[in-house]
Amino acid sequence: MMSKYSQFWPKGGMQGVLHHFTETLTTFEYTASAARKPHSILFVGGLGDGLGTTSYTADLVHALSQTEWSLFSLTLTSSYQSWGLGHLDRDTDELAQAIRYIKDYKTSKFGDDGKIVLMGHSTGSQMVLHYLSQSNPHTTNPSFDSEHKHIKRLALDGAIMQAPISDRECIKLVCQHGFRGNTPEQCQAYYEQLEKMAKDFASKDDQTFDALLPIHLTYQIGYPANTPLSARRFLSLVSPESPHNPSEDDVFSSDLSDEQLAKSFGMIQKQGLLKNKMAAFYSGADQAVPEWVDKAGLMKRWGKAANAGGDKEIWDDEHTAVVPNASHALSNDDQGPARKFLCEKILGYLSKSTGA
């Protein structure tokens, strides 16, 4: 889900260090040069996000200032306007490169006892779950990205998902209520046209390349006017075969069965990439979530599936929460209390659930 930016960043900028974790990809660490910060949170945003674009991280950086944790924000190949051409395997492989770099950097500076937590906002939450639940390394590449090299992923000390919403249910909401001056009937017609077009592209014999959908159509159902969206990524986000056969991106929908949750949350312990517990924070007034979704009940189902996948409890019930009155990215002008609540919950999670 795409995030909305607001003016919460302090004027004059924030101090930190820019790191290259590959030749072309960077991560910015918010930290004072003299501070001792052996522990790290790697933050990854949602669709359309990039380096420092999720504004509530400014509050989190401030909350972490008196701790031994530093926050990293990063760019991926799929950042900004490139998310419509990406896929979760590539995203999590690039996260693996960033995590390996951060681990090596912090070890060289502070010793090898530093903790690393991966935190995702919105679609970044899908990356967190994908990182933890899929084979390590990934085993296959889509034919249009066949030259991509998979990376062995390091285990994490913790994981946080914020605003882990369903893109499929969000599109359903658009088709029910209308959008950008279009009636519900018009939005539904645009959606059906795009779905047919995407399926036709996906069924072609030559799968060497993906195909782009017309931007003038994707715009009508809520996607940005400046962002290309491929047939494959569109089908992954809207997942027309769900709930019986959900796509790669459809992991948070409220109608997924317990059997489907066992294939995602239930695989975390089997993969062995989470040393401690994970937490989730659902925005109580998320504008991208239909009213029928029971947010607290849904997270309980996720926790049950995660804990059932092994011999220990890995779901942090104590700190997982619905954030009262919070919008999707906590970016509205009235979000001060929600931001404070979220930061306090995250600090509590870091101190009690990671062992730091």
All structural domains of the chain, each given as residue ranges with its CATH number in brackets, are 16-166+254-353 (3.40.50.1820), 169-238 (no CATH)
Tokens 């006892």 locate to 113
Under DSSP, is residue 350 helix (H, G, I), strand (E, B) or coil? helix
Of the candidates 325, 241, 321, 254, which has an alpha carbon nearest to the alpha carbon of residue 292?
254
Contact indicator for 14, 60 with CB cutoff of 8 Å: no
Cα–Cα distance, 84 to 167 (Å, whole number): 13
pLDDT at 33 over 60: yes
For the chain, helix, strand, coil in percent to 5 are 40, 15, 45
The model's confidence at residue 41, banded by pLDDT at 50, 70 and 90, is very high
pLDDT at 7 over 70: no
Rounded to an integer, the average pLDDT of 309-324 is 95
The model's confidence at residue 129, banded by pLDDT at 50, 70 and 90, is very high
| 188 compared with 209, residue with greater pLDDT | 188
Cα–Cα distance, 136 to 153 (Å, whole number): 6
The model's confidence at residue 6, banded by pLDDT at 50, 70 and 90, is very low
Instruction: Check residue 209 and give its pLDDT.
Output: 83
Rounded to an integer, the average pLDDT of 249-270 is 98
pLDDT at 2 over 80: no
Rounded to an integer, the average pLDDT of 67-78 is 96
Contact indicator for 288, 165 with CB cutoff of 8 Å: yes
Tokens 């870091």 locate to 350
Cα–Cα distance, 39 to 129 (Å, whole number): 21
The model's confidence at residue 146, banded by pLDDT at 50, 70 and 90, is confident
Burial 166-176 (b: 16+ CB within 10 A, else e): bbbbbbbbbbe
